[in-house]
Amino acid sequence: MLKINTQSEWITRANEVLPAGGFGNFDPGIIIARGDGSHVWDEDGNEYIDYLIGSGPMLLGHGHPEVMEAVLQQLPKGMTFFANNARGIELAEAIVDAVPCCEQVRFVASGGEADMYAIRLARAYTGRTKILKFEGGYHGMSAEAQMSLAPSRLVNFPQAVPDSAGIPDSVAEQMLIAPFNDLEAVAALLTEHDDIAAIMVEPLQRIIGPLPGYLQGLRGLCDRHNVLLIFDEIVTGFRLAYGGAQEKYGVTPDICTLGKIIGGGFPLAALGASGDIMKHFDKAQVGAEGWLMQLGTLSGNPVASAAGLKTMEVLRRDGVYDQLRATGKALQQMQVDALTSAGIANQICGDETLFDIFFTEAACRDYRSATHDEPQRNVIYNEKLRDHGVFKSPGKLYPSLAITQADLDQTRDAVEKAVQAIC
């Protein structure tokens, strides 16, 4: 008889072969066995409403039938070629049609890879070396991105603090760090430094929204100082709106990065810009000195491209984003109502399509202010949500189009029980 491993057995096995017992992404104390629609199940058969959704890419839910059909049609034709393929070309066309700053795109396999190349592209185009990023901004795992991502040691701006071992001190010298939502700080740095290639920003930084006029202000400062503006839209692309943050906020960057949703649940990401900037990927146009070498075994593979194309087709349908925002609004309101009724200070931080709760009365406008008055309260709250069938990150909630009214009703019950636990 086939032996079925329990979750605790899988955890034991993971601890033998994986550092810290996990993949480095999420709580290794839960082993997900499968997902379907808006739900996932762990290896012990416990069922959860999924508000993690793979950290964002499963906007349509798990196993969406149209996406599955598109993948199944592609699989017998080939999984990857390390060569151009029609599905990848079609996906590039769809992205160019949807995203304001993109005249051309280059595919990679992960969002972090796209962000790394965006930084390199900005340096190649401008001939400058320094990058300005924002404290708490997440841009993948490159050495530059690991500067002041989640610093436990708060230092004076614009000093960069590495968040990882193994990064040379020289990397920090090429990075300038500013507080998010502070245009005066950015303006001062641009005035002081004439060797900045680009400002790199998440338009919605993790879940912290831009203040009115902030992104427009960044655009103006970049134009004034001849600096490129990079939007990291790995998360926000095709989530905040079909055209991403660029459409929602009405600001067009020079370069953007895209991931998660454009792969339909498969490994795929991209960076895009004008043809003039993207020509640095074409050695025939810029010569050996200006050429940015980039290649990747799975870049633009046809399976991910087929899944992404179908996902984008679904997202173009009438009412889709209205539905997503209505779901997010309901999830926000049920938590605010329960917490406020219990007399617990709370702030919604983020957008209806991506947000979470901070247990504080203070406004959340940057990395240093986006904190809980009592961090342990957040730990207990999220533990109790999971105990009652709600699966989410401790710091972020992703609504999806698969969420049903029954899911919302169950989530409301779980929220009420979690609130009782922290009163």
Known catalytic residues?
A: 138, 232, 260
Q: Give all strands (DSSP E) within 27-180, no chain letters.
A: 32-36, 39-42, 47-50, 104-108, 130-134, 175-178
Asked whether the beta carbons of 255 and 227 are under 8 A apart, the reply is no
**Cα(80)–Cα(297) distance, integer angstroms:** 8
Residue with tokens 């066995």: 33
**Cα(347)–Cα(354) distance, integer angstroms:** 14
Q: Environment class of residue 175 by beta-carbon count within 10 Å: exposed (0-12), middle (13-18) or buried (19+)? A: buried
Asked whether the beta carbons of 270 and 257 are under 8 A apart, the reply is yes
**Cα(271)–Cα(281) distance, integer angstroms:** 11
Two tokens at 101? 């700053």
Q: Which residues pair with 36 in a beta bridge?
A: 39
**Cα(399)–Cα(329) distance, integer angstroms:** 9
